[in-house]
Structure 1
Amino acid sequence: MSKTKIHVIHTGTVNVDRALPFKEKTLHPLPFSGWLRPNSWRMSVPVSAYLIEHPKGLILIDAGWSEEIRSNQRKHLGFMASTMIKGDLPEGQSIREQLQRLGIKTRDLDLVILSHMHSDHVSGIKHVAEAKRILVSDIEWQAAHNDSNYIRSMWEGVPIETFEMKSIPHGPYKSGLDLFGDGTLYAVFTPGHSNGQVSFLVQTDGGWVLLGSDVGYARKSWEQHILPGVTTSADDADKSLSWLSDFSKRDDCRMIIVNHDLEIKPQIIA
């Protein structure tokens, strides 16, 4: 009998142009930037992280916003990014503060694993730097060090390890990592939004919970096949979203949660 629990945690919000979560057909070359587009087209969406209480360990997926976003957003994000996205992190909502409220010290975390290294997923990583291990896929790590759109100062000095993709029974490419080697928790290779993005399949008593990261941004993403507005490969993004849609139809799929879905509230899934 599984005793796995998933805490869905919101670490503030991010305000973006609507074309960032939901790709638009437009003549605008960079609609997701919000440049030269009306403010009425902007929307605020949650920035999520997930704490998994698993019989074999305590795992945190993603780290949300850093508390630095409160005091010096432009410096933390960099000038260019700060013209496109606006982070908001109310008091008490950083991952450090929320873990503290749960009575969990950073060193209690057996594993922190990043779905990918875009700013709203890695920004708060220094708050959990004392975790026993911090992992990201080797593909994403390489992309993060070769692409100027990543903000390397966010994880500077943090002891991040990388993992290689292996054959698993799930995902658009049947590639990822069986985190405990027992088929109860998988990192699933779902590229497209970023080169090395992974989603997570968590086995619970009620079936699989799929934490889809930024493969899509809301239920309509996989129901209407709307790709994210930012992709590194439209083909990969298409395959990853199609897999998400197919998985949602399985009898053993309990729930799909994507990182920025307005319909998903903080909760505990047991």
Structure 2
Amino acid sequence: MSEIKIHVLHTGLVQVDAGLPFHDRFRNPLAFTGLFRSHVNQITLPVSSYLIEHPKGLVLIDTGWNEAVRTSQWRELGLQVKINKAYLPAGWSIREQLTTLGYTPSDIDYLVLSHLHSDHASGLPLVKDAHHILVSKPEWQAAQHDRLRYIPKMWRDVTLQTFAYQPSELGPFHQSFDLFNDNSIQFVYTPGHSRGLAATLIHGESGHEVLLASDTAYAQTAIDHLYTPGIVINRPQALQSVAWVQQKSREPQILETLTNHDPQVSPHTITLD
């Protein structure tokens, strides 16, 4: 029986206003920006990426921060630094963590971006030698026009390919992309936080599954209480997406449900057989 190993990695830290991960707890609709709010409302969260050792190839989901933030956050993030402050401790970059695990960027068969926000795409230049770098078509299209939420220089010298969601039984809008056409890794259309956001459902031969919820919610408590993120392009879609994650996470075959920024989640490895 073939195993699938999922390495949960922390590829940075992000400091934000508490209104960003938990929008629904705050009456001020702009709380997530941190504007006119005290520093006591700032919280620090992990930035996660996932390396999947799959029988059909090595798959990386998201890249965390570029090592450039260690010298200048402003140069890497521009005005976004007012909302997201990036920190990358020594040894935490995706390049460094691949080395620790015994891999190089050219060993990666598929690098898939859940979406193109800076904390997920900043590290792209560190792993641009991956064989295939993919992002959903609606996410790519949104990134071509929205200069407030996206920083195009992060993929300037990177060869990006797009994938199309297909009709399926998965997700709040019944659309997904099957990476290997065998149901083992499926990217599920969960928009709201961004236009083309993808959650990831990983299915083992035994029937057990792991759900990587990306930024549909920022922590397990947000899933439990249906808290949507502060930054959204469509609040009703964001609510439908987190509601689907909540429902799916309660199915008996789901071993773990992980969000990208949950401070209660430590780096670890999950094995599906």
TM-score of the aligned structures, taking structure 2 as reference length: 0.96
Runs of 4+ in 1 over 4 A off after TM superposition: none
Q: 1:41 to 1:83 in 2, by over 3 A?
A: same
Tell me what 1:253 maps to. Answer: 254
Shift of 1:29: 4.7
In 1, distance between residues paired with 2:74 and 2:29? 24
Shift of 1:206: 6.6
In 2, distance between residues paired with 1:172 and 1:258? 17
The one-letter code matched in structure 2 to 1:85 is N
The one-letter code matched in structure 2 to 1:220 is T
Tell me what 2:238 maps to. Answer: 237
Partners of 2:171 and 2:189 within 8 A in 1: yes
Q: How does 1:1-270 map to 2 (within 5 A)?
A: 1-24=1-24, 26=26, 28-78=28-78, 80-149=79-148, 150-204=150-204, 205=206, 207-270=208-271
Shift of 1:54: 0.6
The one-letter code matched in structure 2 to 1:221 is A
Shift of 1:251: 1.2
Q: 1:25 to 1:210 in 2, by over 3 A?
A: closer
Unaligned runs of 5+ in 1: none
Shift of 1:227: 0.8
Deviations 1:148-174 (A, max 9, x none): 121011110100000111122211111
Partners of 1:168 and 1:178 within 8 A in 2: no
In 2, distance between residues paired with 1:265 and 1:26? 27
Deviations 1:208-252 (A, max 9, x none): 100000000111112111111111101110110110011011111
Deviations 1:26-62 (A, max 9, x none): 5645211111101111100000000000111100000
Shift of 1:24: 3.8
Greater displacement, 199-208 / 216-225: 199-208
Partners of 2:19 and 2:26 within 8 A in 1: no
RMSD (CA atoms): 1.2
The one-letter code matched in structure 2 to 1:73 is Q
Deviations 1:189-215 (A, max 9, x none): 000000000000011347110000000
Partners of 1:11 and 1:89 within 8 A in 2: yes
The one-letter code matched in structure 1 to 2:202 is V
What is the number of equivalent residue pairs in this alignment?
269
TM-score of the aligned structures, taking structure 1 as reference length: 0.97
Partners of 2:18 and 2:42 within 8 A in 1: yes
SS in 2 for 1:146: coil
Deviations 1:110-158 (A, max 9, x none): 0000000000000000111001000000100011111012101111010
In 2, distance between residues paired with 1:165 and 1:114? 14
In 1, distance between residues paired with 2:26 and 2:225? 18
Percent identity at matched positions? 43
In 1, distance between residues paired with 2:99 and 2:72? 23
Q: 1:18 to 1:189 in 2, by over 3 A?
A: same
Deviations 1:79-116 (A, max 9, x none): x2111221110111100011011110111100000000
Q: 1:220 to 1:157 in 2, by over 3 A?
A: same
Q: 1:45 to 1:51 in 2, by over 3 A?
A: same
The one-letter code matched in structure 2 to 1:264 is V
SS in 2 for 1:230: coil
